[in-house]
Structure 1
Amino acid sequence: MATGIWVLGNQLSQQQAAIQSCSHQENTPVIFIESLQHIQKRPYHKQKLVLIWSAMRHFAEELRQQGYAVTYEVSHDFITPLKAWVKANNISEIRIMEPPDRGFLDIIAELPCKVTVIANNHFLWQKTEFQEWAKGRKSLLMEYFYREGRQKFNILMEGKKPIGGEWNYDKENRQPPKGKLNPPPPKHFEADDITLEVIEVVNNLEIPTYGSLTSFNWGVNRTQALEVLEYFICTNLTEFGTYQDAMVTGEETMWHSLISPYLNIGLLHPLEVIQAAETAYQQEKIPLNSVEGFIRQILGWREYMHGLYHYVEASYFQENYFEHTHPLPEFFWTGETNMNCLHQTFKQIHNTGYAHHIQRLMILSNFSLIAGFSPQEVENWFHGAFIDGYDWVMQTNVIGMGLFADGGILASKPYASSANYINKMSDYCKNCAYNHKEKIGEKACPFNFFYWNFLHRHRNKLMKQGRMSFILKNLDKMSAEELESIQQQVDNWYH
């Protein structure tokens, strides 16, 4: 009788818990499965499918070279090849590292052997540790969780105090893109034979997918993921903080790291990424605002999102605080819209599967919120369209942070804004068919009339959010006639 290991497509690390739990013996059975049924839940981006399947195949080959008895299956489902593998290898126990997404293991309930689920070690906080932190708190603000994480893992600390005297340098990290900026090009990789084979498979799928595959430039193994990390630390990190919120036409990645796809499938571990940035601060004198801002995205935001996802009720994804029900417009898939900010962002996602956090929050989510799109449709689109999207990432990020559909469990106020913010933080408005200053009329920017209509329509609920009081006072200055004209503008847009 043998113990076998099932490696999932987002657990591609030799240090992952299931592999580590078995003392490596020659011919230990390991199985990888590409399930076609699994990818039919939604139209996934072609770039995402290539990344995961190519990375899986590369990792399988890596384990095979080390003496593991690797089985690699392409199947309609998961259960059929698992049953055959169990029987062929006389397996009495399957070990699997706990998936980060809820409910995944329900599909293997009928397996004819013992299934041992081992705690996931691709995050710094275990689910139980987050629950212990959250228990009894009136507010689950990320900032307090982040500060505890800094102390817990001794990151950017001098004794019990933060280096530099401040926990958070956000005030230095929100600079608009003034003048001519020259961000470095992203690190690209040529597709090898394995990746080319996967590209051909994805291009010939007979199921709905999304996005373009005219080029594929992502890394697909740990060596390449480490190169992306090193490139970011050496080339991008210095300016990352200052311009992390800026958006510039034609500059798809700015100074962002592009490591989230690798973190989310196990090719990089969060602690090694955090420590690389901290070392750069200590040895290379990288500015503290950049290093702290980057570390906060991982030690703070990423860990917080994962912990919160497993802390809230399983029905969280159904939350709809504002009762928004409008379906997504066709331009979410085609990118064809006269709003230049949306057009530029959709075009970029269509080609690469990527957009940075402000494009996601203040353009896509912001517009979806104020226009009243169904939170479930928006979250489903985000999950399929983004190369780093999974349930644990997108449900809390989109339902909670982006759309405030949870009524304030995660965020202290809705991230809603008019075109003013986009004009300040980007150059998109300069080449747009609409005028970012106008609320009413043929040239009025939809961000403006949707924004004020959103505030007016949900005033009673928004009054309960303390941070909204100042903005609602501006709403009081509008006449009934102006609000009626804005409402008419909204109605015309839908029809």
Structure 2
Amino acid sequence: MTIGIWILGDQLSKNNSALKSCIKDKKNTPIIFIESWQLASLEYYHCQKLIFIWSAMRHFAEELKNDGWSVTYTISDNFCDSLINWIKVNKIEELRLMSPNDNRIRPFDSDLIFPTNNDKSFFSFLAEDDINCHINIFSNSNFLWKPQDFQQWAKKRKKLLLEDFYRESRKRFNILLSEENKPIGGKWNLDKENRQPPKKNLETPPTLFFEPDTITLEVIEKVKNIKDKTYGNSEPFRWAVTRQQALEVLNHFIKYRLNQFGTYQDAMVTGEEFMWHSLISPYINVGLLQPLEVIKAVENAYHQGDYPLNSVEGFIRQILGWREYMYGLYNYVDDDYFSSNWFDHQNPIPDFFWDSKQADMNCLHQVLKQTENTGYAHHIQRLMILSNYGLVAGISPQELKKWFHTAFIDAYDWVMQTNVLGMGQFADGGILASKPYASSANYINKMSDYCKGCRYNPKEKLTENACPFNYLYWDFLARHEEKLRTQGRMNLVLKHLEKMSTEDLETIKFLARKRMENG
């Protein structure tokens, strides 16, 4: 029997379970990579996202060739024809691949069927193609929790709280625990120590950049020659594209950035694109780094060095808690979750989301400009500026999810569905978050220096000079007051809404309508 392996663009690891299944006969095991503009052209993807994935795929294919595998790397505008032709030419009788990360979407109309359920048969060939080929799906090694394990954990609980899941994960994988199986330091979560606003004249650590090699330069030229359906700037491209480079980024983070990561992980400063953030999310999401090796590297650094526990715990919580939780929920929820819209928000994405020069609010301008240049913004920039604006301005959660998916270099369906719909937009009505992440300008003014360079006043809410976040926030509360009263954590702020005069509330509604109508 001829066995072939299909490696997807976010499965670039020698720990790939399908790859490992054939390690003893690699010389006789055909492998295929398919680089397809047919798939990429479905959305306006960020140029640097395309460059990163295609360059990483090409580098990984070369690495496997050098290891003795029989590799076919196909660049084609017809994704399905390329796959089917390769199967026929190589007389593949069994096609093996690791379970796709994004296993609940059908990314293209083709001769491959991607069901929207959790059946292990993620796809099959249509009968008319008459390809006698068995599809064998192997478990996904890019995550620590298997979907069935998360389901077992979730079905016993009335509420799927992230904190509960995180504690269970710490115990399951023995992370930052004492000999008595208690959390080191006495607390499971040190998030309260990780909310410091930026100080004046902060000296941020150096960032590890990489000069594009010949392979990456070829991909850059390819992407630059794509005339339509891309977003952002292709250069300068500074991301890692190999496992060795990704490991260097991880080690650089531990050496230079981990120490202050926790303290300033929520802070935002003009001109500071990366602060103390690790910048490893693109690499872990495509398999160049594995989640447990990253967690263990940081945990070992804590035990061996002088790193504060709030930084170490805060970082590990992002991967072992948040990342695994999002993937688990993605596979657990019903299909109608992805169309949920609890507030019935229908406004389109404003034009300035695609062109930062049009953004008249400095916070939005700064984050969107950074995103255009790098394909990256850290979690608070995404949640409390971009997603917050989408929520209070009534933007369609599905349209916002689509923008996030295409704009960020580390974004995929499995993480953006639950993250944007559930956490950012509260579109699920509280399945994921305990309250909407809606905020006025006060939070942004506290956690950044953006307001100092803005034409709007973060202290006003009733004039044309008021920060739009202020009147949009109060208008959001007024529009959805009845629904929000069912959320216990919203009662305090709704009492402030009750004290607002009818005249002030009408002014707020007028300013909000005007803003939303004009984008």
Q: Which moved more, 1:108-117 or 1:458-467?
A: 108-117
Task: Give 1:43's aligned residue.
Answer: 44
Alignment of 1:92-171 (within 5 A): 92-101=93-102, 102-104=104-106, 106=113, 109-110=124-125, 111-158=131-178, 159-171=180-192
Equivalents in 2 of 1:40, 1:96: separation in Å? Answer: 24
Distance in 1, matches of 2:375 and 2:333, equals 28
Return the alpha-carbon distance in structure 1 between the equivalents of residues 466 and 389 of structure 2: 15
Kept after mapping to 1: 8 A contact 2:464/2:511: no
Q: Distance in 2 between matches of 1:138 and 1:299?
A: 22
- Which shifted more, 207-216 or 399-408? 207-216
Q: Secondary structure at the match of 1:175?
A: coil
- TM-superposed CA distance for 1:315, in Å, is 2.5
CA distance, structure 1, for counterparts of residue 227 and residue 134 of structure 2: 35
Q: Match for residue 35 of structure 2?
A: 34
Other-structure match for 1:215: 236
The alpha-carbon deviation at position 24 of structure 1 amounts to: 3.0
For 2:440 and 2:423, how far apart are their aligned partners in 1?
Answer: 17
> What's 2:109 paired with?
none
**Shift in Å at residue 39 of structure 1?**
1.1
Unaligned runs of 5+ in 1: none
The one of 314, 332, 355 aligned to 1:311: 332
Distance 2:34 2:422 in 1: 32
| Distance in 2 of aligned mates of 1:115 and 1:297 | 34
Q: Distance in 2 between matches of 1:484 and 1:423?
A: 25
SS at match of 1:91: coil
SS of the aligned residue for 1:162 comes to coil
Normalized against structure 2, the TM-score is what?
A: 0.94
2:17 aligned with 1:17? yes
CA distance in 2, matches of 1:24, 1:203: 41
Cα distance between partner residues in 2 of 1:289 and 1:465: 30
2:137 is paired with a residue whose SS is strand
RMSD across aligned C-alpha pairs, in angstroms? 1.0
2:439 to 395, 414, 417: 417
Counterpart of 2:40 in structure 1: which amino acid?
A: I
Tell me which amino acid in the other structure corresponds to 1:484. E
The whole-number CA distance in structure 1 between the counterparts of 2:510 and 2:206 is: 44
Report Cα offsets for 1:92-139 as digits up to 9, x if no partner: 100010001123562552254111011101100000000000003111
1:50-105 alpha-carbon deviations (Å, 9 max, x no partner)? 00000000000001111111001111232211111112112110001000112356
1:299-448 equivalence runs, <5 A: 299-335=320-356, 336-448=358-470
Once residues 427 and 352 of structure 1 are traced to their aligned partners in structure 2, the CA distance between those partners, rounded to angstroms, is 20
Letter in 2 for 1:489: L
Whole-angstrom CA distance in 2 between matches of 1:442 and 1:480: 18
Question: Does 2:200 align with 1:179?
Answer: yes
Deviation by residue 1:361-408 (Cα, 9 ceiling, x = unmatched): 000000100000011110000000000010001000000000001100
Amino acid in the other structure paired with 2:7: V
1:278 to 293, 299, 303: 299
Map Cα deviations across residues 319-350 of structure 1 (whole Å, 9 max, x no partner).
10000001111000001211000000000000
> 1:149: how far off?
0.2
Correspondence for 2:287 = 266
Equivalent position SS for 1:413 = coil
Q: Distance in 1 between matches of 2:20 and 2:200?
A: 51
Write out per-residue CA displacement over residues 444-488 of structure 1, whole angstroms, 9 at most, x where no aligned residue.
100000000000110011001111111111111101110001011
Q: How far is the alpha carbon of 1:23 from its aligned partner?
A: 3.1
Write the deviation string for residues 257-282 of structure 1: whole angstroms up to 9, x where unpaired.
Answer: 00000000000000000001101110
Assess if the C-alpha contact under 8 Å between 2:457 and 2:467 holds in 1.
yes
Q: CA shift at 1:207, angstroms?
A: 3.7
Q: Which residue of the other structure, out of 464, 480, 493, is the alignment partner of 1:471? A: 493
> What residue is the counterpart of 1:90 in the other structure?
91
* 1:316 CA drift (Å): 1.7
Distance between the aligned counterparts of 1:282 and 1:185, measured in 2? 24
- The Cα of 1:206 is off from its aligned counterpart by 4.0
Matched ranges for 1:291-306 at <5 A: 291-306=312-327
**Hey, what's the Cα distance between the residues in 2 that align with 1:42 and 1:448?**
32
AA in 1 matched with 2:420: V
Which runs of 4 or more aligned residues in structure 1 lie more than 3 Å from their structure 2 counterparts after TM superposition?
none
Aligned to 1:256: 277
1:57 aligns to what? 58
| Segment drifting more, 184-193 vs 355-364 | 184-193
Do 2:206 and 2:256's aligned partners in 1 also have CA atoms closer than 8 Å? no
- Partners of 2:53 and 2:336 lie apart in 1 by 27
- Partner Cα distance (2:136, 2:335) in 1: 22
Q: Kindly state the Cα deviation for residue 285 of structure 1 after the two structures are TM-superposed.
A: 2.3
TM-aligned CA deviation for residue 314 of structure 1? 1.9
What letter is aligned with 1:93? E
Q: 2: CA distance between counterparts of 1:388 and 1:166?
A: 30
Q: Is contact 1:58-1:221 (8 Å) kept? A: yes
Q: What corresponds to 1:489 in structure 2? A: 511
Report the alpha carbon displacement of residue 185 of structure 1 after superposing the two structures with TM: 2.7
More off after superposition, 99-108 vs 213-222: 99-108
Helix, strand or coil: the match of 2:286?
Answer: coil
CA contact (8 A) 1:83 1:112 kept: no
Contact 1:189/1:219 (CA < 8 Å) preserved in 2?
yes
Q: Is the 1:245–1:358 contact (alpha carbons within 8 Å) kept by the matching residues of 2?
A: yes
